[in-house]
Amino acid sequence: MTSIDPASPAPASPGPARFEAIEAGMTLPPLVRGPLSTVHLMRWSAAIENWHRIHYDEPFARGHDGLPGLLVSGSWKQHFLVDLLCRWIAPHGWLASIDMRFSRPSFAGDTLTASGVVTALQTRGDLGLVHCEVRIKNQDDQENTSGQATCALPLAGGGRVPYPYVPPART
């Protein structure tokens, strides 16, 4: 298996320039990170000041919490899905909302793949909203994180997505 350093930037995917280029069922280019090393987990914990020892102290994680190894932080997984979406819609779109749930832990040594699929499209004023299902799977094809997201993109002939982008009220 090829090692992909989670700290190195992945090349940006050529995202859709306009809302009209997207169709329901379209898949987002997947983003792969791993195998995640103990160093990657420690750097992430330090960067966000998450000092829970299950993310960087393997003897503690195994002995005290009975885990099989160091746990990948949930906030890292959140960032991973946001990164997937932002790379896909850049530079024209904005991530309007995202929610997710963690169904299975991930550990040091795992290689994780973030992916998504467009589930619905709608227009609001001069913007297009793209609704997606997103997920993370490990190297054994086990899903560990899933959720939904909404991205805003300009319509053909329309202006840019405003900054700051304020998502419309949910209906």
Q: What's the confidence (pLDDT) of residue 163?
A: 82
Q: Is the pTM of this model over 0.85?
A: yes
Chain centroid to Cα 148, Å, comes to 11
Q: Please tell me the predicted confidence (pLDDT) of residue 3.
A: 52
* pLDDT per position as a tens digit, 101-158: 999 999 999 999 999 999 999 998 889 999 999 999 999 999 999 999 999 999 988 8
* pLDDT surpasses 60 at 18: yes
pLDDT computed for residue 126 by the predictor: 85
Question: Quick one: average pLDDT of 38-58?
Answer: 92
Q: Is 144 helix (H, G, I), strand (E, B) or coil?
A: strand
Q: Kindly list the structural domains of the chain, giving each domain's residue range(s) and its CATH number in brackets, ordered by start.
A: 19-35+74-154 (3.10.129.10)
pLDDT value of position 117: 98
Cα→Cα distances 129→59, 132, 148, Å: 46, 10, 13
> Could you tell me the two tokens for 165?
């982008």
* Cβ proximity of 154 and 94 under 8 Å: no
Whole-angstrom distance, CA of residue 88 vs CA of residue 65: 37
More confident residue, 64 or 167: 64
Q: 107-135 burial, b for 16+ CB within 10 Å, e for fewer?
A: bbbbbbbbbbebeebeeeeebbbbbbebb
